[in-house]
């Protein structure tokens, strides 16, 4: 199988900003709890004209320009961000590809919500390795899920750190640097019904009643049941996919230099790092953005790269979990 490397990354964060103090007023959660437990000092909010596709275009354009890549040289545009996009029953990737001028590229859409980054890297690597016509793949992800929050609904309070923004990553076949290596995924379908927007799908079509009852915001079915089940399986599943991805890369946990997870509450972040034998000094915590659906691990990687913290030979573990519930991990060896 041909090697596939990461050429570069980029991100876009909207100018709108909601500090923790204002989020406290909206949610009724004390500011010190938001900062200390939720791990968020504030979050970026998209403006009225900013949507998942438009923000993905901004991140993609920045990346292509910085890397000096002609859009016509891109073979595929892969969207792996929030499922909630500009329109329902609509794909963002074709729109992104067109606006970026990637006219030769085909579009590919992945629906993996918050675990999108490691899954997208796995899919893009497999595609670039096996398809002669897909040697250069532009991955983009964006989220406007702050607009799906009902701050009066305390069942969904663990999602109050959802913010807005976008990332992009460029992968090419036979690129000798920043190699994408092993990946792993694990799904627990017993959690498939817990987190969703109740109305607007075939099970409960939109109506005046669903709007009046505020059923078009994110909600949690059986909050206590979800907490109990996640308490049992979440950390073990994170560790399991990490170990499997590393095994497939010929590595072990003690060879991981950086852990790049999704944004989660501070206690879970700390517990995950400890379970992986790592420490906060070897990770990125997105306290100034909050959770951006599938974009988080790539945003963390982009920040590390731009700050000059990455060194040749370092192993990066991108790890995430998404409602459904699926856990996923992918390894990148830098340099």
Calculate mean pLDDT across residues 115-135.
97
- Close Cβ partners of 139 (under 8 Å, ≥ 6 residues apart): 78, 79, 80, 120, 121, 124, 168, 169, 170, 171, 298
**Domain residue limits, the chain:** 4-176, 181-333
The CATH class of 4-176 is alpha beta
What gap in Å lies between CA 6 and CA 175, rounded to an integer? 7
Give pTM, 2 decimals.
0.97
Calculate mean pLDDT across residues 261-276.
97
pLDDT at 128: 97
Calculate mean pLDDT across residues 280-291.
96
pLDDT at 168: 99
Q: Is the pLDDT of residue 199 over 90?
A: yes
Q: Is the dihedral of CA 142, 2, 182, 302 positive or negative?
A: negative
Encode the chain in three state secondary structure. Answer: CCCEEEEEEEEECCCEEEEHHHHHHHHCCCHHHHHHCCCCCEEEECCCCCCHHHHHHHHHHHHHHHHCCCHHHCCEEEECCCCCCCCCCCCCHHHHHHHHCCCCCEEEECCCHHHHHHHHHHHHHHHHHHCCCCCEEEEEEEECHHHHCCCCCHHHHHHCCECCEEEEEEEEECCCCCEEEEEEEEECHHHCCCEECCCCCCCCCCCHHHHHCCCCCCEECCHHHHHHHHHHHHHHHHHHHHHHHHHCCCCCHHHCCEEEECCCCHHHHHHHHHHCCCCHHHECCCCCCCECHHHHHHHHHHHHHHCCCCCCCCEEEEEEEECCCEEEEEEEECC
What gap in Å lies between CA 91 and CA 80, rounded to an integer? 11
Long-range contacts of 20-23 (CB under 8 A, 24+ apart): 23/160
pLDDT single digits (tens) 299-315 = 999 999 999 999 999 99
Q: Is the pLDDT of residue 47 over 80?
A: yes
Q: Is the pLDDT of residue 279 over 90?
A: yes
Q: Which two tokens stand for residue 259?
A: 């852990």
Q: Binning pLDDT at 50, 70 and 90, where does residue 2 land?
A: confident
Side-chain-side CA neighbours of 92 within 13 Å: the count stands at 27
Domain 181-333: assigned CATH number:
3.40.47.10
Whether the domain at 4-176 and the domain at 181-333 fall into the same CATH topology: yes
Calculate mean pLDDT across residues 275-285.
96
Average pLDDT score over the chain:
97
CA R_g for the chain = 19
10 Å Cβ neighbour count for 200? 17
């Amino acid at each position: 199988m041909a090697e596939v490397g990461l050429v570069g990354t980029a991100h876009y964060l909207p100018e709108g900003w909601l500090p923790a103090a204002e989020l406290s007023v909206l949610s009724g959660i004390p500011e010190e709890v938001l900062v200390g437990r939720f791990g968020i000092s504030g979050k970026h909010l998209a403006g009225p004209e900013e949507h998942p596709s438009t923000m993905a275009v901004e991140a993609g354009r920045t990346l292509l320009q910085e890397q000096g890549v002609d859009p016509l040289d891109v073979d595929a545009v892969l969207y792996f961000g929030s499922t909630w996009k500009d329109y329902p029953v609509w794909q963002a990737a074709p729109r992104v590809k067109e606006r970026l001028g990637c006219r030769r590229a085909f579009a590919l859409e992945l629906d993996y919500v918050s675990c999108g980054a490691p899954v997208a890297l796995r899919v893009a690597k497999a595609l670039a390795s096996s398809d002669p016509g897909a040697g250069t793949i532009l991955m983009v992800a964006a989220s406007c899920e702050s607009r799906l929050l009902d701050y009066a609904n305390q069942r969904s309070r663990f999602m109050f750190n959802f913010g807005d923004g976008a990332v992009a990553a460029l992968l090419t076949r036979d690129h000798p640097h920043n190699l994408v290596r092993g990946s792993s995924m694990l799904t627990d379908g017993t959690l498939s019904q817990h987190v969703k927007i109740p109305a607007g799908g075939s099970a409960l079509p939109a109506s005046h009643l669903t709007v009046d009852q505020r059923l078009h915001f994110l909600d949690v079915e059986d909050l206590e049941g979800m907490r109990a089940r996640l308490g049992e399986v979440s950390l073990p599943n994170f560790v399991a996919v990490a170990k499997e991805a590393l095994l497939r890369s010929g590595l072990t946990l003690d060879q991981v230099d950086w852990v790049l997870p999704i944004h989660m509450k501070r206690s879970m972040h700390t517990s995950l790092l400890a379970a992986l034998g790592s420490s906060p000094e070897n990770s990125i915590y997105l306290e100034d953005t909050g959770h951006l659906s599938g974009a988080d691990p790539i945003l963390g990687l982009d920040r590390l790269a731009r700050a000059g913290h990455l060194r040749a030979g370092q192993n990066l573990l991108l790890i995430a979990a998404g409602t459904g519930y699926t856990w996923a991990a992918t390894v990148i060896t830098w340099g």
